[in-house]
Amino acid sequence: MKMIDGGICAAKGFTASGVHAGIRKNRTKKDLSLIYSEVSASAAAVYTTNLVKGAPLLVTKENLAGGKARAIICNSGNANTCNANGVEIARETCALLAKELNVSEKEIVVASTGVIGQPLDITPIKNAIPELVKELGNHSDAAAEGIMTTDTVKKEVALSFTVGGKECKIGGIAKGSGMIHPNMATMLVFITTDCNISTAMLQKALSTDIENTFNMVSVDGDTSTNDMVTVLANGLAGNAEITEEGEDFAAFMQALNTVTVYLCKKIAGDGEGASKMLECEVFGARDEKTAKITAKSVICSSLVKAAMFGSDANWGRVLCAIGYSGADVDVKKIDVSFRSNKGEVPVCRNGAGIDFSEEIAKEILLENEIIISVNLNSGNAKSVAWGCDLTYEYVKINGDYRT
């Protein structure tokens, strides 16, 4: 398995494009992206658990009932959510694109990110689709830009791996939570692979993977209405189709996981206003559920997040977050340390503070990737969660809109 270039166009048969359609007023940033597979691909998706769901998700879910897709279209600038005519607009987008690509509209994945509750005008999309299709090529970067909102960096990754003696490729792009416009709280991830895998196994791989990856990311605890992760697998690598668990499936899972973990860290580190990526690793848990609840509670704590912003080795807040997490842990067994490129400093043993150098702790915590390491000393299960610090900038981005 090795990292390669090409993003979502790395896998055989996939092309992409991104254009400025004018959905975002007074801007030149690309705001409409397309990902296309030259052959029909197995398609799997997971959607936000928020009861308030963006209209594009509902339409995508309908379309993917057949388990196949040819293209993904995504706009930024408007979430097409909480609008009276949202489903209609999403369906019209699919129909227009399907016509231009000469594919079935039931093979289109449609996604939107941006403002909630403001009608999405079909006109700029309609006008831009011909250009969008014409531009299709090795343009993963353009597609990655087209789905960005307040993201400060493009999130793109690709790698090659081997299944049944055949070289396969997998790549992904993502956008994280950015809400400089109201309610842009969307995590969108699009993954493409030329690995040959059945829709059922692809969905199984994705649904299993996200439990330990995207579901363990939290920027601010708010679950978006438009979150979606989609994988298209077009089979062009030529491996024997993966239709059951086994060595090939495991190889695919590993590749998928490498892509998703990479994107998770990128999303976490580029959280709104974030100055640092936080990772909480929990081990020594009695079971995986306990490890997950614990890791997520720490990563979601506003107090822990603010302490990390201040590079403050405030382990008491970590313990406090574990204590209220609902996980059944023995507080008197908990060890905590902070780690970064500058080293590691143990700060708590058996649930009580230990002497440590504030200077060394500070140096470690001034880095921009911090690992909060928690040993529950009660078993062998472990988990990892990702997040970011809480900064002035977060408040500014989310509080100053329209003022």
Binding footprint of a second copy on the chain (CB under 8 A) = 48-53, 81-84, 115-118, 179, 182-183, 185, 220-225, 300-303, 306-307, 309-312, 314-317, 319-324, 329, 331, 348, 351-353, 358, 389-392, 394-403
Handedness of CA 112, 113, 118, 124 (dihedral sign): negative
Look at residues 118, 116, 135 and name the one whose alpha carbon lies nearest to residue 33: 135
Task: Compute the distance between CA of residue 170 and CA of residue 262 in angstroms, rounded to an integer.
Answer: 12
* Length reported for the chain: 403
Taking the least distance from each CB to a second copy, the nearer of 4 and 360 is 360
Taking the least distance from each CB to a second copy, the nearer of 103 and 360 is 360
Active site residue 208: no
Question: Counting Cβ atoms within 10 Å, is residue 215 exposed (0-12), middle (13-18) or buried (19+)?
Answer: middle
87-105 exposure pattern, b = at least 16 Cβ within 10 A, e = fewer: bebbbbbbebbbebbebeb
**Beta carbon of residue 280, minimum distance to a second copy (angstroms, whole number):** 15
Question: Counting Cβ atoms within 10 Å, is residue 292 exposed (0-12), middle (13-18) or buried (19+)?
Answer: buried
Taking the least distance from each CB to a second copy, the nearer of 283 and 394 is 394
Of the residues 186, 225, 260, 391, only one is catalytic, namely 186
Which structure tokens are listed for 88? 């209609």
DSSP 51: S
**Beta carbon of residue 331, minimum distance to a second copy (angstroms, whole number):** 5
**Beta carbon of residue 65, minimum distance to a second copy (angstroms, whole number):** 22
**Beta carbon of residue 319, minimum distance to a second copy (angstroms, whole number):** 5
Helices and strands, number each (H, E), in the chain: 11, 16
**Beta carbon of residue 92, minimum distance to a second copy (angstroms, whole number):** 19
| Residue type (1 letter), 319 | L
Taking the least distance from each CB to a second copy, the nearer of 117 and 137 is 117
Taking the least distance from each CB to a second copy, the nearer of 231 and 300 is 300
Angle at 282 between CA 364 and CA 225, to 5 degrees: 95
Which structure tokens are listed for 276? 């640092």
DSSP notation for 187-203:
-EEEEEE---B-HHHHH
Which structure tokens are listed for 237? 């690598």
Q: Are 193 and 11 in contact (CB under 8 A)?
A: yes
**Beta carbon of residue 379, minimum distance to a second copy (angstroms, whole number):** 17
Reduced to 3 states (helix: H, G, I; strand: E, B; else coil), residue 299 is helix
Taking the least distance from each CB to a second copy, the nearer of 156 and 227 is 227
Q: Mind telling me the catalytic residues?
A: 186
